[in-house]
Structure 1
Amino acid sequence: MKNLIYLFIAASMMLVTACSDDDEYVFSELPSERIEAFQKECQTTLRGATDGWKLVYYPQKGVYGGFTFVFRFSEKNRVEMISDFEPIKGDYSYNLNLSEGLVLTFDSDSPIHQLSNPNYGAPAHDGDKGYGLEGDFEFIVKEVKEDVIELIGKKTRVEVKLEKATAADWTTVEKLAEMAGYFVLGNSGLGMTVNGELAIGGRVELNDIFHLCTMAYKDEEGNTVSVETPYIITNEGCLFENEVEVAGVKFSGLTVDLSNGVTNREFVSNDADQAIRFFIMDLSPLNLTPAEVPTFVPNKYIASVDMLKSHDEYIITDMSASLKVEWEALQAELPNFEKFTLEMDRKDGYEGSFRVTAINSGDGKSKSHNYDFGAFTLLNNTVNQVRFDNSKKSHSTSSGFTDKALYDAGENARVGAIYNAFFDSKGFTVIRDSEEIFWIRSIQNPEVWMKLEAD
């Protein structure tokens, strides 16, 4: 059917250019007269709506979320416009031209142009720029009715409808813009509870530009399950394009709960039981100093253990005083010593390894001892306390490491002291300082800690 519509439009234009007004016509009007009459009808209808027109626009349905606009068209080709992301009324220009049938063009920079802004890295194109939200600001006029004007995106061929607005719609869209502001999280993230219990690894990300909601949680086997859905802002929060299921709960949107204030707002699933709640986690850098680490109280909702796994390798760049004595003595005694590191997923069956690296005197190359651990074992029903479980006692060294005995934890007491601290059976509190920096602090003795920086 769409193809027939487009063929009809194209054929109409061919008639306009190919036929002269002197030819004999089956219709009572000439083609040029019909298209001019259609243009006039559209102009009159656009300008005749006292409260303007409302557009609910999904630039790419199923890919990005939706946006709400209200327009009021007036003489001299001016249009007043607001949207759910730009509530301040602005005065812009538009025109109705005959470039491809009858085309409604918003021809000055306005909120609707943001949907085709090429500076936004498009998720559907691996974050590449040049696509934006793939929206249109030129629309072929398909049909004009008293209360509805049907349009087709000139570039994307996405069909949309202008529906006659009410005075209340202008107020509503202004409120939608306020609601949309609650979805802008900045450096904060969102943790997750299900039926009142903290969900290990549960989180949600809200892309407030593309209107995409991504929810993640751990299933019963400990695997991360991720669900992504487009959304549109509503009076109460947001509505998903389709119903989703997260951690066994089916719902179709989120309600914003402001009962604890804007800073501590929560996003609640709109199922009958309101079973899932997403809460604010401020992820701004902490910029902790060593003196602050022993007494710092981390946000218990920030899943710092999961976040620690986001990088492949961390260099241990600082240690508490008792460990630093051993570290500095090791450096003095063995100048070829390079570093201690935490490496993720070094080999199958192991989640990570504690690594000791040095320059091998035989060939001048960096060589390592690797002490692998089987799992990050979460402790005390938390998301920020962990034990590096090395019960399997897996140990390997780089090929050709002729100096290996010098740096072996079983042979070198200084390496052994730091090894024993890292594999403390009581575990650590993991503190996320920033995306690149973490601190691990002994649960048994908070005065013992290490600083990890992503390599």
Structure 2
Amino acid sequence: MNKNLLYCLLAMILVASCKKDDDTVFDKSPDERINEALKTYQTAITSSQYGWNANLITADGAPYRFYFTFTDSNRVQMFSDFDSTTATDLKESSYRLKALQQPSLIFDTYSYIHILSDPDASVNNGQYGVGLKADFEFAIDTVGADSISLTGRFNGSKMTLYKASQTDRAIWTSKQVANGVVSFKNYWKFLNYWRRLNYRGIDYELQFDTSLKKVTVSWGTGNQAQSVTRGYYFWANGINFTDPVVNGNFTIPGFTITSFTNGATPADQVMNVAVSGTAATIKATYTNSLNPDVKNAVTRWRNQAINSGLYYVSFDGFHKNGVDDAYKLKTLVNDSARYYALLYAPNPTGYSDAFINMYVDTVNEPALVAINGSWVKQTVNSNTGLAKVTEDSVRKNEPWPATGPAADTRAQMYKSGGYYFVQSSAITYDMVSVDDPSVWITWWWVF
């Protein structure tokens, strides 16, 4: 009994000793420690003399560039490279540092950073309900001497703040970023599809995906062909890549745009640029692609629809010589039905693909109806990716007219030269004419 009592006393002493040690681990209460941490973060974000450059990567991997200046009165001023307005007009709103599951930076009134998260897709060209999968509440991960790393609390987007220099701040305030946004719009005026940057005598094909702010850069031919994909953001009078493109001794971090000459033909069009201060040009006088993925894209296009049991649609039909809906499909009317989209449904066998001109009838039981349609065959050269479409037969009770927009579209589809396919985004493919590279059609995957 005495031995048991001794063991009990020993255990009590040990517990008391542990409790005493625990009490001395922190000399302040949890609330005091949290408040001190928040104060430290407040000092950190307001201490950068020239503000912060910020790189925000959405949950889908799209990079956006911001500029922030934080004040002790919980106000923040910002620019963004989202568009020419956000890059031109300094926006002021409020922010908070708050202890949630961990210390967090919250932009608590609507500002440029909220545009990316706006669930209204008409605001940011994202998806309805989710926007561009960005955040405006961020958990603070690490604070360094010159940078702060954060993670979005809802979508998990990543943002890193870097202390800006006086030059960085001047680039924003003198509207050089806005100049880059505006000047890049001329890039889309090129009449031909294949656009190449010629730098130090080497051609680099550029394929921009504006939905994810990615650019695929391809160069070389045959077995030497190679391709890399980079994110991009707007910077001083042009574009910077998130990581430089390296080709042997040559490095391309992006380019500044110095001028653009428009013209009535592809040969008359040139964008003059500079790469690290060296003059270069972008032209679109080419008839083929340098991207080695072109030979695989058409198979991926077919398989994506076949494996899902779904199909592709094109709302604008063929683009030609700088004009969307070049054959004016959107003017088509049939009684109470109006043109809606072209539909292409690949068949697993390669035969009897469906090519249909769809209308929407908003009066008689609103529904999509097929007005013109054909069973077609697509043949693909596996070595080059060149695809050709031929008509097997017209679908029963869905004849094509002899003239007009639908007839012109049908004739264009069966051009003998064929088409190359390019995956232009996660859900779109461009089908580019070999006969005339100013002609292409964008197919949207219905998912």
TM-score, normalised with respect to structure 1: 0.50
Residue equivalent to 1:392: none
Q: Does structure 2 conserve the Cα–Cα contact (< 8 Å) formed by 1:81 and 1:89?
A: yes
Change (3 A) 1:275 1:96: closer
Deviation at 1:115, TM superposition (A): 3.0
For the residue of structure 2 that corresponds to 1:183, the secondary structure is helix
SS of structure 2 residue aligned to 1:26 = coil
**2:277 and 2:163 mapped to 1: Cα distance?**
33
- The counterpart of 2:212, out of the listed 210, 213, 229, is 210
Where does residue 284 of structure 1 map in the other structure? 323
Equivalence map 1:318-357=2 (5 Å): 345=378, 352=388, 355=391
Residue type of the alignment partner of 2:118: N
Which residue, 251, 271, 276 being the options, matches 1:266?
271
Question: Aligned residues: percent identity?
Answer: 23
Gaps of 5+ in 1: 1-22, 122-126, 290-311, 316-337, 367-372, 387-429, 437-455
**Corresponding position of 1:191:** 194
How many Å apart are 1:355 and its aligned residue?
Answer: 4.8
CA distance in 1, matches of 2:142, 2:372: 71
Question: Shift in Å at residue 356 of structure 1?
Answer: 8.3
1:81 aligned onto 2:70: no
1:164 partner letter = K
Matched ranges for 1:46-445 at <5 A: 46-60=45-59, 64-85=61-82, 86-87=86-87, 88-119=89-120, 129-144=128-143, 147-157=146-156, 160-173=159-172, 174-184=175-185, 185=187, 190-193=193-196, 204-215=206-217, 219-220=221-222, 228-235=229-236, 237-244=238-245, 252-261=252-261, 264=269, 266=271, 270=275, 277-279=282-284, 283-285=322-324, 345=378, 352=388, 355=391, 376=417, 386=435, 430=436, 435=441
Q: Which residue identity does 2:258 align to in structure 1?
A: L
Alpha-carbon shift at residue 105 of structure 1 (Å): 0.1
Output the CA distance in 2 between the equivalents of 1:351 and 1:262. Answer: 31
CA separation in 2, counterparts of 1:45 and 1:218?
Answer: 47
Q: What displacement does 1:73 show?
A: 1.8
* Aligned counterparts of 1:347 and 1:220: Cα–Cα separation in 2: 19
2:304 corresponds in structure 1 to none
Shift of 1:258: 2.8
Give the match's secondary structure for 1:258: strand
- Choose 1 or 2 for highest CA Rg: 1
Unaligned runs of 5+ in 2: 1-21, 264-268, 286-319, 329-352, 357-370, 400-413, 420-431, 443-447
Residues 321 and 439 in structure 2, CA contact (< 8 A), matched pair in contact too = no
Contact 1:54-1:164 at 8 Å conserved across structures: yes
Conserved? CA contact 2:376–2:392, under 8 Å? no
How far is 1:41 from its partner? 2.3
Number of residue pairs the alignment of both structures matches: 304
Q: Distance in 1 between matches of 2:56 and 2:107?
A: 15
Match of 1:405 in 2: none
- Secondary structure of 1:277's match? strand
Question: What is the SS of the residue equivalent to 1:176?
Answer: helix
Question: Residues 190 and 203 of structure 1 are in contact (CA less than 8 Å); yes or no, is this contact kept in structure 2?
Answer: no
Q: Distance in 2 between matches of 1:75 and 1:347?
A: 63
TM-score, normalization: structure 2?
A: 0.51
- Note the alpha carbon deviations across 1:180-212, whole angstroms, 9 max, x for none: 23333557565335769998xx96442345311
CA RMSD of aligned residues (A): 5.2
Q: CA contact under 8 A between 2:258 and 2:273: conserved in structure 1?
A: no
* SS of the residue 1:283 aligns to: coil
Instruction: Say if 1:95 and 1:104, in contact at 8 Å, map to a contact too.
Output: yes
2:313 is aligned to: none
- Specify the SS of the correspondent of 1:136: coil
> Which residue identity lines up with residue 44 of structure 1 in the other structure?
T
- Amino acid in structure 2 at the alignment position of 1:255: F
Give the SS at the match of 1:182: helix
Question: What SS is found at the alignment partner of 2:79?
Answer: strand
Asked if the contact 1:54–1:69 (Cα under 8 Å) also holds between the matched residues in 2, the reply is yes
Q: CA distance change for structure 1 residues 144 and 365 in 2, over 3 Å: closer, same or farther?
A: closer
Q: Partners of 2:57 and 2:118 in 1: how far apart? A: 15
